[in-house]
Amino acid sequence: MSLLTVEGLRVHFGHGDTQVQALHDVDLTIEPGEIVGLVGESGSGKTVTSLALMGLLDPRSSRIEGRAVLDGKELWDEKGERKTPRHEIPMAMVFQEPMTALDPVFTVGYQLMETLKVRRGMDKRAARAEALSLLDAVGISDPKARMKAYPHELSGGMRQRVMIAIALACDPKLLIADEPTTAVDVTIQAQLLDLIKKLSRERGMSVLFVTHDLGVVSETCDRMITMYAGRVVERGPVKEVLAAPGHPYTAGLLAALPSPESRGGRLATIPGRVPPPGDVVEGCIFRPRCPYAQDECRTEQKLIALTDTREVRCIRSREIDFEGVAS
């Protein structure tokens, strides 16, 4: 049985006439221990998907539809209201911005220990011991001293490690990592990726790895899901998809990837931008930017199975050979 099953996830923002739909029937599954990449340019709906699953969208300005089951627990009911208290759901999230995601006026130790108390019902002594071992597990040297540090006393990479430790304190079966390495430099990025892979392997923890960087996906993930304008446009095993993308958008992202030879040179980019929620596009959502668009693309596209393991939202997928990368 899958660890996470999401069916027909829709998110609307706003009310009445100004209401817009940010997610359109997103389906996804994550198996135990699997690392799934969620990719797409900025504005594709990756963060909205993550926040919806975490129950972190503001109910005053958003509405959730669809069904999501994690580890046998329904995340919300038909009205989109939380069904299981958050601290009973084995899911945690690491955010993009390590500089602001930690509380500036409480120590690292305090923030870790309070998580352990809420999530695992530990008393102060047990929480302290576990907090030290978590800091050690995320590769922070001298955990005793770091417990007393305030976030502003740590570097960006260190703070992100602390964020990961806090997430681990929730004892998650699913970790959602929303562009956790975007705000740190390249060496730190590589270390954090290794850390997340290692933790996933050691703990059998599944990861939904959100990124706009296909390079990171190819290094880190087992399967990938490409999102565009609030829709899943392609999914499949990372190796297969990157070797031969099935959707022009995935292919475009791949072409925009800096290869070792072209590093420092200008990147090929996909002209245009992601249509924001509320923009009306007739037929295939990617058509205005698609170099392969034809008349037949004027109808709305459904996800179609390409192979047993691959799905793609493009009617011309079988006719066109998109350029992939060997890995």
Ligand X SMILES: Nc1ncnc2c1ncn2[C@@H]1O[C@H](COP(=O)(O)OP(=O)(O)O)[C@@H](O)[C@H]1O
Residues near ligand SF4 (CB under 6 A): 248, 284, 286-287, 290, 292-293, 297, 301, 314-316
Measured CA to CA, the distance from residue 69 to residue 107 in angstroms comes to 34
Question: Both tokens of residue 113?
Answer: 């220990």
Please identify, among the stretches 46-54, 78-86, 143-151, 296-304, the one whose residues bind Mg ion according to the rule CB under 5 A.
46-54
User: Which residue in 219, 172, 225 sits closest to 199, CA to CA?
Assistant: 172
**Site track for ligand X across 58-77, x = CB under 6 A:** ---x----------------
Please identify, among the stretches 42-50, 64-72, 240-248, 263-271, the one whose residues bind Mg ion according to the rule CB under 5 A.
42-50
163 in contact with other proteins (CB under 8 A): yes
- HEC secondary structure over 105-160: CCCHHHHHHHHHHHHHCCCHHHHHHHHHHHHHHCCCCCHHHHHCCCHHHCCHHHHH
Contacting residue, 3, 9, 22, 312, with ligand X by CB under 6 A: 22
* Long-range contact pairs involving 198-202 (C-beta distance under 8 Å, separation at least 24): 199/137, 199/138, 199/164, 199/168, 199/175, 200/33, 200/35, 200/175, 201/33
44 in contact with ligand X (CB under 6 A): yes
Measured CA to CA, the distance from residue 187 to residue 36 in angstroms comes to 23
**Quick one: 190 or 304, whose CB is closer to ligand SF4?**
304
Please identify, among the stretches 102-110, 215-223, 278-286, 288-296, the one whose residues bind other proteins according to the rule CB under 8 A.
102-110
For helices 124-137 and 156-169, angle between their N-to-C axes, nearest 10 degrees:
130
Contacting residue, 31, 42, 77, 262, with ligand X by CB under 6 A: 42
Closest distance of CB 118 from other proteins, Å: 5
- Which residue minimizes CB distance to ligand X? 47
Contacting residue, 6, 30, 48, 122, with ligand X by CB under 6 A: 48
Q: Which residues bind Mg ion (CB under 5 A)?
A: 47
